[in-house]
Amino acid sequence: MKRLLVALGCVLSLSIAAYAAPEAAKAPEATPAVAAQAPAAAAAPAVDAAKVAAPAAESKATLKANPKVTIPIFLIIIAATMSVVVWSAKQTKSAADFYTAGGGITGTQNGWAIAGDYMSAASFLGISGMISLYGYDGFMYSVGWLVAYITVLLIVAEPCRNAGKYTLGDILSFRTSPKPVRAVAAISTVSVSTFYLTAQMVGAGKLMQLLLGINYTIAIVGVGILMVGYVVFGGMTATTWVQIIKAGLLMTGAFILSVMVAIKSGFSPFQFFTDIATNQNIIDHVKLLPIYLKEVDAGTATADAGQRFLEPGLFLTNPLDQISLGMALVLGTAGMPHILMRFFTVPTAQEARKSVIVAMFIIGSFYILTTLLGFGAAVHLSPQGIKQVDAGGNMAAMMLAKTMGSEFSPFIGDLLLAFLCAVAFATILAVVSGLVLAASAAIAHDIYVNVIKDGHADQHEQVMAARITSFCVGAVGILIGIAAEKQNVAHLVALAFAVASSGNLPVVVMSLFWKKFNTAGVVAGLVVGTIASIGLVMVSPNMTYPDRVADNAKAAYTKLEAEIAAGLVAPAAMEKTLKTIEAKKAEEAKNRGGKSMLGLSKPLFNLKNPGIVSIPLGFIAAILATLAFPCRRAEEMWDEIYVRQNTGLGMAKAIDH
């Protein structure tokens, strides 16, 4: 039966992929932009600078992959990963096999899997795109994601591996009242996973629609079928190996493209940054950014526009906002349920630490490459041309691959673009599989087995519950992805990190390191941290405020009109400038008088990330509730969890894979 269903899933997926060829032939020229998927994109400013590209960038206004090259590569990757599922299904017999691969994953393997889980399409597409549009500030996001693993290494990796079993609820319920704690922990896990999953699913649909011309709904269903197949039949073993394969492919693609960019500058960092600072398209782009306009008007501009691209502050303009963002990234990663689950898959605490170090090395190397891709795209494509294809810049790396490869031959350009398309697709599949597994584990293991069945369920029943739940979570993910097609889902990733850092992390840390911590503290910390972070994001600049979009557009065209009146615009650039003014006026008219999703004209909370407020609230709520409602049983069990988290006593023996 397993083989039949896996084969059916594979056939359906291949059929959907093959559907791309005829669809691509009739795809419209103007395809929707890829939904932003990174925390970077979640806080993207509303204004679009210079939507009309420079003449040199006109040829880069559209981007289409060649289906004859792309489809075979897609099919190869799908076939390879589905063969992993078939092999994994034979290994998955118990609940431990399904949730944690029997604890038999090595530290090196787990490190690659963590990297594959963490390097989402947001990392590859969103960060490189952000650097191509905002320079240095885009690089700061990648630094935040890398530093986050120091927190994971020093605080949660070893204790969580030793004190937990399958889920976040296992860690939190060890010395508290299991049922209420598991229920609240499951709700938090499902919330974080859903926020992140929705953004990834919408991104996958838009990516396939933009590059291959596949119908959005068909793309979402295809991703969903593969995602469900990986998790339902292969469990953690299949998910782990899919993530390892994906991480290897992503590093390979990024390395090849980075070498091509480096060749352009003769492998000289000095020449590379000189090319950036003196590039006329970059200079024109920076001159229209709202923050640069304000600096010039106020007389505080410290550098010319090209040099300004290499300095901080074009995107992250508020130092307090940078601190808040850093807190959310650094602490949120350690509270992500699908990351915490990975530490239950290794046999020893030493392997858990090793896996984090391996992951840090891979992720750090990847973000160095991503930085080269972002700046390289700005120089060789122009920010204006990138924004024509996608306003958020998410297609910068793809456009760069096409352009660089085409300099050798059109086929090389198509091949490189096709390879990166397939890698981005595999990236999304790997990430959503991990998220589905985390959400289904919370529902099946915490709610069904331990709350409803009170822990009395045999291995067959546990595995069946896990598989049914995974199927249901995957189906819901498909439906949400289809329903969210026309929605701006960028803020959902900010929500995921905010909830993880404000709700999950405080209670995990205090469960492991504070003797008095109890049930009241867990519930209060999770509830207050979650509600505070969600509430603040919904009234923050992450949401779209049409009046602000209109104000920024007016500031841009007013500045250009003043330059024309002063005779500062060269005759050769006059047509381009007039088109930009016309576009900005249309943008102002379209947005003037509009309201945000909550009916607001402007944000009530002015920071793009709520971490600096919501994280302390989560800690304070947990501490106050613990002190207000002391529990003797929690204190009496402290010695046991202290020994367990430091020695690993009580952990099940690993199973080789």
Query: Has residue 25 got a pLDDT over 60?
Result: no
How high is the mean pLDDT of the chain? 80
- Work out the pLDDT band at 41, boundaries 50, 70, 90: very low
CATH number at residue 255: 1.20.1730.10
How do residues 374-431 score in pLDDT, each as one tens digit?
Answer: 999 999 998 988 888 877 788 888 899 999 998 888 889 989 988 988 888 888 888 8
Half-sphere exposure of 642 (CA within 13 A, CB side): 11
How do residues 107-132 score in pLDDT, each as one tens digit?
Answer: 999 999 988 887 876 677 888 888 99
Residue 450 falls inside a structural domain: yes
| pLDDT reported for residue 491 | 64
Query: Has residue 563 got a pLDDT over 80?
Result: yes
Residue 17 falls inside a structural domain: no
Instruction: Give the pair of three-digit tokens for residue 263.
Output: 């060749």
* Percent of the chain with pLDDT strictly greater than 70: 87
Residue 34 falls inside a structural domain: no
Radius of gyration of the chain, Cα coordinates, nearest whole angstrom? 25
Query: Has residue 140 got a pLDDT over 70?
Result: yes
Is pTM beyond 0.85 here?
no
Q: Which residue has the higher pLDDT, 481 or 527?
A: 527
Residue 385 falls inside a structural domain: yes
| pLDDT reported for residue 62 | 65
Residue 189 falls inside a structural domain: yes
67, 186, 473, 525, 651 from 507: Cα distances, Å: 49, 13, 25, 6, 22
Residue 315 falls inside a structural domain: yes
Residue 574 falls inside a structural domain: no
In terms of Cα–Cα distance, which of 519, 539, 520 is closest to 531? Answer: 539
Dihedral of CA 537/538/543/548: which sign?
negative
Query: Has residue 257 got a pLDDT over 50?
Result: yes
Q: Which residue has the higher pLDDT, 10 or 337?
A: 337
Query: Has residue 607 got a pLDDT over 70?
Result: yes
Helical spans, DSSP H, in 334-458 = 337-340, 349-381, 383-389, 396-406, 410-441
Report the helix count and the strand count for the chain, using DSSP H and E.
32, 0
Residue 58 falls inside a structural domain: no
Number of domains in the chain: 1
How do residues 45-92 score in pLDDT, each as one tens digit?
Answer: 333 333 333 333 334 456 777 888 888 888 888 888 889 888 888 888
For residue 456, give the amino acid letter.
H
| pLDDT reported for residue 488 | 59
Half-sphere exposure of 79 (CA within 13 A, CB side): 8
Q: Can you give the residue range of the structural domain that contains 232?
A: 2-11+66-545+595-647
Mean pLDDT, rounded, for 313-340: 83
Mean pLDDT, rounded, for 432-459: 86
Phi and psi, residue 656, nearest 5°:
-70, 140
CB atoms within 10 A of CB 453: 13
CA pair distance 77, 68, nearest whole angstrom: 15
Q: How many residues does the chain have?
A: 657
| pLDDT reported for residue 61 | 54
Instruction: Give the pair of three-digit tokens for residue 271.
Output: 């020449």
Instruction: Give the pair of three-digit tokens for residue 489.
Output: 């889902």
